[in-house]
Structure 1
Amino acid sequence: MIPTSYYLILSALLFVVGMVGVLVRRNALIIFMCIEMMMNAVNLIFVALANQFGHLEGQVFVLLVMAVAAAEVAVGLAIVIALMRHKDSTNVDEINLLKW
């Protein structure tokens, strides 16, 4: 059996990689993928701790987070497609359509 600490370390590494990707990259699609990676890192923590403590609440919460992630992807991709119609770039530094 694999110790829970291994899952927590893996999750922390995934979260850090996602956070660095959000902070460093300027492409909107890559930023969305990094946010999804961060959400999946948190899901891994929930599942690992639910398994360790023998409760199902963590796994139920993972299903809720996955539903929110699916909605976020749908809305995010719709925004990116709408922006691509006006500009040829998904660089977040060049996007000023939402400013007043």
Structure 2
Amino acid sequence: DCANAATTVALNIASKAQAEVYFLHMHKMASEGGHAHMHGGGSSTGLQHCPDEGHAKSELAKLVQQAEKMGVNAKPVLVINTGNERMMDYVEPYKID
């Protein structure tokens, strides 16, 4: 519920400010093998299949569609990682606040 409320607030602010939104979802990889930016750019170092990947991509696509209906440009970013990374490590390359 908290994430949905935050999404609503972010989209309302972005709509009024004519800002772009990045939907970042980080999911811990069950098996070892490094990190992989799965959707939205990045690397595929140590790429292994994640069974929840399809569901996560689908949910991110729904959020992007919701944003676009409000006139907000949005981009999905799905990160499959080892669980030891910091969120800022993935946000920094986009040069966003």
**Fold shared by both chains (TM-score > 0.5):** no
Q: Tell me which protein shows more strand as a share of its residues.
A: 2
Task: Tell which structure's C-alpha radius of gyration is larger.
Answer: 1
Q: Tell me which protein shows more helix as a share of its residues.
A: 1
